[in-house]
Amino acid sequence: MTKAGLRQGMLHHLKYSLGKDPAHAQVRDWRVALSLAVRDRIVDPWFAATRATYGGRHKRVYYLSMEFLIGRLLEDAIVNLGLLDEAEEVFREYDVSFGDVLANEPDAALGNGGLGRLAACFLDSLSTLACPAYGYGIRYEHGLFRQRFVDGRQVEEPETWLSDTHAWEFQRPEAAFEIGFGGEVAETGSRALWQPGESVIAEAHDTPIIGWRGNWANTLRLWSARPTRLFDLERFNRGEFAAAAEPEALARTISRVLYPDDTTEQGKALRLKQEYFFTAASLRDILRRFRSEYDDLRKLPLKVAIQLNDTHPAIAGPELVRLLHDENGIDFDDAVAIARACLSYTNHTLMPEALERWSEALLGSLLPRHMKLIERIDDTHARQHPDRKMRIREDGDVRMGELSFVMAHKVNGVSALHTDLMRQTVFAELNRLHPDRIVNETNGVTPRRWLLSCNPRLSALIDRTIGNDWVGDLERLSELEPHVEDSGFRADFAAAKAENKAELARFILETENIAVDPEAMFDIQIKRIHEYKRQHMNILETIALWQAIRDNPDAGWTPRVKIFAGKAAPGYVLAKKIIHLINDVARLVNSDPVTSSLLKVVFMPNYNVTLAERLIPAADLSEQISTAGKEASGTGNMKLALNGALTIGTRDGANVEIRERVGAENFFLFGMTAPEAVARRAVPDHATRAIEASPVLARAIAAIEAGVFSPGDPERYRDVVENLRWSDYFLVCSDFDSYYASQREADAVFMDRDRWIRMSVRNTARSGWFSSDRTIRGYMNDIWGVQSIV
């Protein structure tokens, strides 16, 4: 499309969709007008993709996920359509800042963290690879809370992405299903009929997702809940206004807000309702589409692949069996076999507190028919394997991981290490029974968002050096490798990083009022706050470094800026304490004249996709320091390495594979391995011993205890410290010395700027394998049995 076409489309929407002329248009008007003009360009490829899928009678992939952390969509769409230059020029003509227009778009945070962002990267790759696919999820009215700090403490505020006009979706009032809850099951012979006690309507909203180069578009279909009965007019007329609106309020609660907990499971009835709500609506939609083309439901697995993103949609197993068996009269065992052939399940965490369990009592009251079917699935499976004692139900709970495993033909982990640990630990027994079921699909990230658009300086350099085919084939980045010997290339590579850092430094000054030295090492830890991710180990190291610099300010220290960002679950007390501690340390350290040219600490509030896009291109050092065995994969680690950051990290998750690919000599490794961590945990007093053995750690802890960072309130971090001393399940103390030493090695290398740049180039050149295009090809071949349509 030409610039003229884009201009015309935008002016058309400005006038006829927004009722404005250019002279009076506000930034929001321009943003919505541009979005609608861009959306218009997506519709034809979108229709064409649908026609090609129908016409070729192709199998479709359905990705069921409670979370899609998509962020802003406008730049993504513009970049994928190849309209970036055109859009920039048009806005120059109107003297409107294109950057402001892009920044006006709300960041759609329909997810918590890694799991939700992975789903969003997968959408981009599915379209790029022309794989016929639908994402299915919930259209939350409020996404992940906004984070503010008040006196260093996290405060949560509701997020309102929809109130600022979401220009991408098409409402589909005709694509609606009634979803039931509760009620009774009437058994007649071998058949059962579920009569729900209450119900809500699931209504579809479609967002087209265009792939790289604009050749193919899939659909993200999000469900919102509305009441079957809008409004109780009788009660209203009696003057009972609040009561009259009750049915509506109750129904809308279901899609009102995203649960803000990641990696903990809370067993709330509303959460289960949300899970069943979107899963049931999606399955009904999938069967409706199948039936519009085929009549034999037994052929479902030939045309339908359903991926369960963690156990949140695990009720899909029993629900599909219910639809096939109860509602379509297919024999129970056949129904289970058909469902299993369609379903596959991705596990994202082995942390016991994250593995979903629902009490049989709750499940039985909310989904009585499903509870019966789960019992039957469990009994059948147990009967088939009488020598084993594996049960889906345990202690009055249904274990959703086990249910998903039994109902899936493939179960995958998200990194090589994580998949091995699945086989050895959580699913050891099931793996013995079904040794071919577990497969690995190491995560990846989309190169369009996480290099091309977020890092225009580096992208332009790569284009100039090797052309731009890397965007659709990230392994082509290996062609950069020979250029590591070219001093001109190295200088350009260093300059791109330096400019990104200078830009971030300006942003930090503007938003946080902290002056940071753009020449210093930008050392970045960005992710949800969790004990297993060990932000507290990082801040302890920061304290120790500060103390060491104060002891001897002229010892030739490498200047550092420690940057943190991430949200804590609102109910996770210790994680919130860690945030408070980091902010307290920042306040003191940043105002210390002795260290101020050498060390700064910044906690950027409200981490989200947009902030990640700012931080990642400016990173020198990527902190990937989880306790070995606890981080399933990580994906931020991949984004940072791809953008030339060196990793300081443990042998955990995908770090292992990153290190293999970028080379051990280009990676700062420290800490125990996963088996060593397990063994160490069994040593009594491991933490106390580690603290006694490490004067550096002991002194850092002592400073916290003495109230150095919380003057007048030395008790503030008592729980953090006690936890470290007396339990330290995540082995912060045991790994500390190794971490500290590795940091000092990073300091030394950073001083040798040319060496650092070479290592940085190699990280970029060797990270091509971590494209989500590669990951999705893996799912297509190993799990779904589908092919790209060309």
348 given a catalytic annotation: yes
Q: Strand 621-624 vs strand 521-526: parallel, antiparallel, or unpaired? A: parallel
528 given a catalytic annotation: yes
Q: What is the DSSP letter of 674?
A: H
Nearest to 38 by CA among 93, 98, 79, 99: 79
Nearest to 556 by CA among 283, 744, 774, 712: 744
Query: Of 447 and 653, which has the nearer Cβ to ligand 475?
Result: 653
Query: Of 580 and 639, which has the nearer Cβ to ligand 475?
Result: 639
| Six-digit token string for 193 | 């009929």
Query: Of 263 and 500, which has the nearer Cβ to ligand 475?
Result: 263
Q: CA-to-CA distance for 461 and 174, rounded, in angstroms?
A: 48
Q: What is the nearest approach in angstroms of ligand 475 to the Cβ of residue 68?
A: 12
Q: Which residue is catalytic, options 20, 117, 325, 528?
A: 528
- Residue 349 lies near ligand 475 (rule: CB under 6 A): yes
Q: What is the nearest approach in angstroms of ligand 475 to the Cβ of residue 668?
A: 20
Distances (CA, A) of 99 to 23, 34, 278: 19, 13, 36
- Residue 118 lies near ligand 475 (rule: CB under 6 A): yes
Instruction: Give me the residue whose beta carbon is nearest to ligand 475.
Output: 114
| Six-digit token string for 12 | 């058309």
Distances (CA, A) of 464 to 399, 478, 544, 610: 53, 15, 43, 26
Q: What is the nearest approach in angstroms of ligand 475 to the Cβ of residue 626?
A: 8
Query: Of 349 and 743, which has the nearer Cβ to ligand 475?
Result: 349
Burial class (CB in 10 A: 0-12, 13-18, 19+), 46: buried
Q: Which residue is catalytic, options 39, 72, 205, 348?
A: 348
Query: Of 106 and 114, which has the nearer Cβ to ligand 475?
Result: 114
Q: CA-to-CA distance for 763 and 748, rounded, in angstroms?
A: 18
Binding piece for ligand 475, criterion CB under 6 A, among 24-32, 57-65, 259-267, 480-488: 259-267
- Residue 112 lies near ligand 475 (rule: CB under 6 A): yes
Q: Which residue is catalytic, options 117, 560, 630, 639?
A: 639
- Residue 211 lies near ligand 475 (rule: CB under 6 A): no
Per CB under 6 A, the list member of 541, 631, 657, 728 interacting with ligand 475 is: 631
User: Residue 564 CB: number of other CB atoms within 10 A?
Assistant: 25
- Residue 633 lies near ligand 475 (rule: CB under 6 A): yes
Q: Number of residues in contact with ligand 475, rule: CB under 6 A?
A: 19
The residues, any chain, with a CB within 8 Å of residue 42's CB and separated by 6 or more, are 77, 81, 208, 210, 214, 217
Per CB under 6 A, the list member of 115, 314, 565, 602 interacting with ligand 475 is: 115
Per CB under 6 A, the list member of 14, 179, 632, 732 interacting with ligand 475 is: 632
- Residue 640 lies near ligand 475 (rule: CB under 6 A): no
Query: Of 255 and 349, which has the nearer Cβ to ligand 475?
Result: 349
- Residue 137 lies near ligand 475 (rule: CB under 6 A): no
Q: What is the nearest approach in angstroms of ligand 475 to the Cβ of residue 788?
A: 23
Q: What is the nearest approach in angstroms of ligand 475 to the Cβ of residue 527?
A: 9
Binding piece for ligand 475, criterion CB under 6 A, among 110-118, 295-303, 734-742, 769-777: 110-118
Q: Please count the helices (runs of H) and the strands (runs of E) in the chain.
A: 33, 24
635 given a catalytic annotation: yes
Q: Which residue is catalytic, options 13, 312, 370, 527?
A: 527
- Residue 108 lies near ligand 475 (rule: CB under 6 A): no
Q: Which residue is catalytic, options 207, 349, 446, 635?
A: 635
Q: CA-to-CA distance for 702 and 726, rounded, in angstroms?
A: 15
Q: CA-to-CA distance for 359 and 160, rounded, in angstroms?
A: 33
Query: Of 349 and 760, which has the nearer Cβ to ligand 475?
Result: 349
- Beta strands, E only, 415-559: 438-440, 521-526
Q: What is the DSSP letter of 771?
A: B
Distances (CA, A) of 479 to 475, 484, 492, 639, 660: 8, 10, 16, 19, 18
Binding piece for ligand 475, criterion CB under 6 A, among 5-13, 380-388, 610-618, 630-638: 630-638
Per CB under 6 A, the list member of 9, 132, 208, 653 interacting with ligand 475 is: 653
Residue 120 and residue 209 in contact, taking contact as beta carbons nearer than 8 Å: no
- Beta strands, E only, 376-496: 393-394, 397-399, 410-413, 438-440
299 given a catalytic annotation: no
- Residue 263 lies near ligand 475 (rule: CB under 6 A): yes
Q: What is the nearest approach in angstroms of ligand 475 to the Cβ of residue 635?
A: 5
Residue 223 and residue 277 in contact, taking contact as beta carbons nearer than 8 Å: yes
Binding piece for ligand 475, criterion CB under 6 A, among 125-133, 209-217, 554-562, 627-635: 627-635
CA torsion through residues 640, 643, 649, 655, sign: positive
- Residue 622 lies near ligand 475 (rule: CB under 6 A): no
Query: Of 112 and 763, which has the nearer Cβ to ligand 475?
Result: 112
Q: What is the nearest approach in angstroms of ligand 475 to the Cβ of residue 368?
A: 25
Binding piece for ligand 475, criterion CB under 6 A, among 181-189, 467-475, 490-498, 625-633: 625-633
User: Residue 1 CB: number of other CB atoms within 10 A?
Assistant: 16
Binding piece for ligand 475, criterion CB under 6 A, among 257-265, 457-465, 487-495, 714-722: 257-265
What stretch of H or E contains 324?
helix 316-325
Per CB under 6 A, the list member of 205, 348, 381, 560 interacting with ligand 475 is: 348
Nearest to 775 by CA among 415, 275, 245, 496: 415
Residue 430 and residue 475 in contact, taking contact as beta carbons nearer than 8 Å: no
Query: Of 113 and 368, which has the nearer Cβ to ligand 475?
Result: 113
Taking CB under 6 A as the criterion, which residues in 420-449 touch ligand 475? Answer: 443
Q: CA-to-CA distance for 35 and 37, rounded, in angstroms?
A: 5
What stretch of H or E contains 706?
none
- Residue 635 lies near ligand 475 (rule: CB under 6 A): yes
Query: Of 280 and 632, which has the nearer Cβ to ligand 475?
Result: 632
Per CB under 6 A, the list member of 71, 634, 649, 768 interacting with ligand 475 is: 634
Query: Of 159 and 285, which has the nearer Cβ to ligand 475?
Result: 159
- C-alpha count within 13 angstroms, C-beta hemisphere, residue 385: 16
Which residues sit opposite 305 in a β-bridge?
A: 61
Residue 543 is which amino acid?
I
Report phi then psi at 169, rounded to 5: -95, 155
Catalytic amino acids? Answer: 348, 527-528, 533, 635, 639
**Residues at the interface with ligand 475 (CB under 6 A):** 112-115, 118, 261-263, 348-349, 354, 414, 443, 631-635, 653
